[in-house]
Amino acid sequence: MSEVQRYPVPADLAATAQINAERYEALYAESIEDPEGFFDRQARSQLTWMSDQWDRVSEVNMARGEVKWFAGGTLNACVNCIDRHLPERASQTAILWEGDNPEDSRAISYQEAYEAICRRTAALVAKWTGLGFVHGVLNTDNLSVLGLTIDYGPYGWLDRYTPGWTPNTSDHGGRYRFEQQAAVAQWNLAQLGNALYLVVEDAPALQAILNDFETHYRSCWQDEMAAKLGLSRFEPRDEGLVSELLGLMEEAQVDPTLCFRHLADVPAMEAVRTGAPRGMALTEALAPCFYDDAPLDHTRQGPWEAWILRYGARLHADPGDPATRRERMNGKNPAIIPRNYLTQQAIDGLAAGDEAPLQRLLAGLSRPYAPTAEDVPLLGRRPAWAEAHPGCTALSCSS
């Protein structure tokens, strides 16, 4: 014996339902009559797709026990299950982060993540610029959301200060040249923003973050320049000081690494305070920065001496004693960098069965700010023989 009982849905609850019995029956009949068309329409109207260009709605292979739905289409499960129900997508959670301590955790929104990525990238490129590094192939897939990069194929260092230089032999238009790196990084971040827009759907929020990249990059770059010049902070008046120095470096094609390193040995403050030294005695500490085809001679002496005196006056107005400043500058400006010709020497040595050049380079790079007598072969300008030697000035993407 059995008893059938029906429990009607309360009227107030039924009023909030997404579908009633009559509509359900109609949809059911539609699904039986045209299953392909029915599920195609439902999928397009009820789900948020990143790509709705599927080949077939369903594909069943009973022999293999396989059932495929919407093959060729792409959707994000998080968007459909969670994100689409949030009123403001820019503030929705993108990452649930947890540290080693379970209590040290937080939710990071898409907007926060994008802002952090943009700021990390700006800081990274500013440090590159300060060191004279050129990535060479700064494509979108060579930037990491961690604020790092990968794929250092055609990389290079400015042996001569040439802002328009790129080490990439296939970069005929100079897209990835030294002076263009911040702009290219911002373009790459714009493409990330375009991808995030599919989820966030808040263009103004993303654009505001992207627009801030240039401001943050400039701030980081100014901090780098102040530290390299031994200044406690960058002030508006330092724009001209730095710009003039870079202009002098470009005109004479000096080695920027050596120039910043040897600035710590220039008696700029003494010259301002006592009126001496002057002439070649004032600039002789910078002589190792100049190449033989563009020496520091009487034709260049005047502009460089004028800049050093201006620099000395700026240092005189900056707090701190000279000895501490010199130590701080030497801790910021490396004496040793992995110049292309040095790495090529290591490669050539290994090819000949000699590990000594590699071991010497690795030892020197372990102490770039405090070289020893053993590092003397790593300290100078790029030698003349390396100007046209394969692998020493320009590289291909497959290098």
Please list the active-site residues. Answer: 141
Inter-helix orientation angle 203-228/238-252, to 10°: 70
Q: How far is CA 372 from CA 119, 129, 260, 327, 377, in A?
A: 36, 26, 19, 16, 11
Kindly state the helix (H) or strand (E) to which residue 97 belongs, with its residue range: strand 93-98
DSSP, collapsed to helix, strand or coil, labels residue 209 as helix
Burial of 333 (0-12, 13-18, 19+ CB in 10 A): buried
The pair phi, psi for residue 67, each rounded to 5°, is -135, 120
Residue 348 to residue 157: CA distance in whole angstroms: 19
Residue 176 to residue 170: CA distance in whole angstroms: 10
Residue 133 to residue 135: CA distance in whole angstroms: 7
Q: Which residue has the tokens 């290098």?
A: 399
